[in-house]
Homo-oligomer: A and B are copies of this chain.
Amino acid sequence: MKARVHVTLKNGVLDPQGKAIGHSLNRLGFPEVGDVRQGKFIELELAETDKTKAKARLDEMCKKLLANTVIENYSIELVG
């Protein structure tokens, strides 16, 4: 099946990228843009049919590699 993982910075953790993107958008004529945060979006193909097993494995992957849990949160979503 397919899985989608969102990795985002925890609240309060400085996001230099988001900040710079926000500034640029303001400068480029989008004054309505306020706070911007950038995260990662990872799509994976899984040779696994059991949803619960898949979720558990993905959770492991996030902890081991996909997310840096000291400063990032992650969320897992299974699609078909």
Contacts and interface: CB of A to CB of B under 8 A. Distances in A.
A68 interface: no
A25 B24 CA distance: 35
Interface residues of A, number: 34
A75 to B, nearest CB: 10
Nearest to A34: B45
Nearest 9 pairs of A and B residues by beta carbon: A34-B45, A41-B41, A39-B41, A32-B47, A35-B45, A37-B43, A32-B48, A36-B44, A38-B42
Given A18-B43, A24-B65, A40-B40, 13 more contacts: A28-B64, A28-B65, A30-B57, A31-B47, A32-B46, A33-B44, A34-B46, A34-B47, A36-B45, A37-B42, A38-B40, A39-B40, A39-B43
